[in-house]
Structure 1
Amino acid sequence: MITAMHTLIYCDDPEAARAFFRDVLGFPYADTGGGWLIFRTGPSELGAHPSSWEYQGTTGGTDQRFDISFMCDDLATTMADLTAKGAQFVGEPVDEPWGVTIGVTVPGAGQITIYEPKYDPPALG
């Protein structure tokens, strides 16, 4: 039986990314030795999306095969809390049909989406 999902983020600067997850996001962690931290990220859910689509007369596509996003209950409050801890956001929040999103910069790893879902997340049910 599958008991959890383990997610990997490949980083140019893993120490900076680990410090962000530990100090800014406050994820609990286990140190597996040599500074290799494994973080508890809470409940998770998995969606299987098409690599090309048509939605309301607009078509799109992606070459991505995997993606990761963080969910929150209140995006404005989350942004304020994380900004106070030094997080840097990319652009302004975007209102999507499924949630309100924004990118946050993970030092040494790039950008990850944070979103406030408009649906009842199965991860929290």
Structure 2
Amino acid sequence: MQERAFPLIFAEHVPATAAFYERLGFTRTRQNPPEGEPTYVALARGTAELAVVDADWPADRHGSAVGTGPRFEMFVLVDDLDTTLKELTDAGVPSLRDPVEMPWGERIAYVTDPDGNPVALAAGPHS
């Protein structure tokens, strides 16, 4: 058995949310249905994986409803925080917090994905 775990991101607009994560360096590995408007998109970036799925997924699978407001916070390491942040905001991605120097040496800024979930962008000692 292959050991792996990955988060599911429940999205109102699967294509837009998947495209947002593709801007952060994730690559689409598969989608369902294979043609047309997807309701499931698998993405990978190195060994990191995530899936963007339609917000109706929890109700269809186990009878739970997706809540309102932020449903998760993603933390993504980037090589150049300023360039990435500018590219995203120039593309209309809302910024929640300008870059801040953290005591441990990283710089962190916050944006939102298309569903309003916070995404921390971090650069620093890991680069």
TM norm. shorter chain > 0.5: yes
Tell which has more relative contact order, 1 or 2 (C-alpha 8 A, sep 6+): 1
Q: Deviations over 1:38-66 (max 9, x none)?
A: 1112244xxxxxxxxxxxxxxxxxxxxx8
Q: What is the CA–CA distance in structure 2 between the aligned matches of 1:90 and 1:9, rounded to whole Å? A: 19
Q: What is the CA–CA distance in structure 2 between the aligned matches of 1:25 and 1:85, rounded to whole Å? A: 13
Q: TM-score, normalised by structure 1?
A: 0.60
Structure 1 runs (4+) deviating above 3 angstroms are: 1-5, 11-16
Percent identical: 27
Aligned residue number for residue 28 of structure 1: 27
Of 61, 64, 68 in structure 1, the residue corresponding to residue 74 of structure 2 is 68
Aligned residues: 98
Aligned residue number for residue 49 of structure 1: none
What is the RMSD of the two structures over their aligned residues, measured on CA atoms? 2.7
The alpha-carbon deviation at position 8 of structure 1 amounts to 2.1
The answer to whether structure 1 residue 41 and structure 2 residue 40 are counterparts is: no
1:69 partner letter: F
Gaps of 5+ in 1: 45-65
Gaps of 5+ in 2: 49-71
Q: What is the CA–CA distance in structure 1 between the aligned matches of 2:82 and 2:18, rounded to whole Å? A: 24
Distance 1:7 1:41, change over 3 A: farther
